[in-house]
Amino acid sequence: MPKIIAANLNGIRSATKKGFFLWMAKQDADFVCVQELKAQEPDMSAEMLAPDGYHGYFHYAEKKGYSGTGIYSKRKPDAVVTGFGNPEFDAEGRYVQCDYDNLSVISVYCPSGSSSDERQLAKFRFMEVFLPHLAVLKSRGREVVICGDWNIAHKEIDLKNWKGNLKNSGFLPEERAWLSRIFDELGLVDVFRQVDSRPEQYTWWSNRGQAWANNVGWRIDYQIATPGLAAKARAVEIYKAERFSDHAPLTIEYDA
């Protein structure tokens, strides 16, 4: 049963100190997709590059201490793709893809628009170019799973204070409609929601106030898959017993 983990680390060096790789070693996952490395290759220790039993593949941002994505895999892929062909966002290290037989596993870190109007415009540009890329992936007939921090809560159930966030980045109507297009037009599947329809299932909490303690969170980390793979999902978990980051790892197990 393939087991896939998606985890925004908010700094791989920080997450390492907090025990992320000790936890990961116990999970026996087939793939671990990580985001927000905030590191370049010279910053990466041997453990970060290739934990015991895993091969590591990374897309680093050009800017130091910023963004970055990676995939840890037990099995060497047939091919590795870094970036999705857009110079602006490929420079930010937001995409790495590993191909195996008829399966593509992708780690993605979609931009956040919360820091400024300029970054929100960049987020909209990303959305505009990433949707056609997803359409091409879907058209190839392979099974695909895109894991990572999408920085958008899709529906009211996916964040605690939805009424107060209708005009805020991450829950804007345009962003939510974009995710709906991925599900409704492209036919990709929000795998977690297919299995678990309960409210108050979040993957990110602000560091302000008592958001974590009071579970005032957002569900912005996803595994989005082609229907064939999504149909094989059997168990989902948002791991909150330990904190490696302001995000919680999302684990999904699929039938072989």
Structural domain of residue 172, as residue ranges?
3-254
pTM of the model: 0.97
SS3 161: coil
Cα→Cα distances 59→16, 92, 105, 124, 198, Å: 18, 8, 14, 21, 34
Sheet holding 143-149, edge to edge: 79-82, 95-100, 103-109, 143-149, 221-225, 189-190
CA-closest candidate to residue 156, choices 165, 147, 146, 148: 165
The amino acid that residue 111 corresponds to is: P
Does residue 165 contact residue 253 with C-beta atoms inside 8 Å? no
Q: Residue 230: which CATH number?
A: 3.60.10.10
Digit-by-digit pLDDT tens for the chain (256 residues) are: 699 999 999 999 999 999 999 999 999 999 999 999 999 999 999 999 999 999 999 999 999 999 999 999 999 999 999 999 999 999 999 999 999 999 999 999 999 999 999 999 999 999 999 999 999 999 999 999 999 999 999 999 999 999 999 999 999 999 999 999 999 999 999 999 999 999 999 999 999 889 999 999 999 999 999 999 999 999 999 999 999 999 999 999 999 7
- Is-catalytic flag, 255? no
Q: Which of 30, 149, 158, 246 is catalytic?
A: 149
The total domain count for the chain is 1
pLDDT at residue number 13: 98
pLDDT at residue number 256: 72
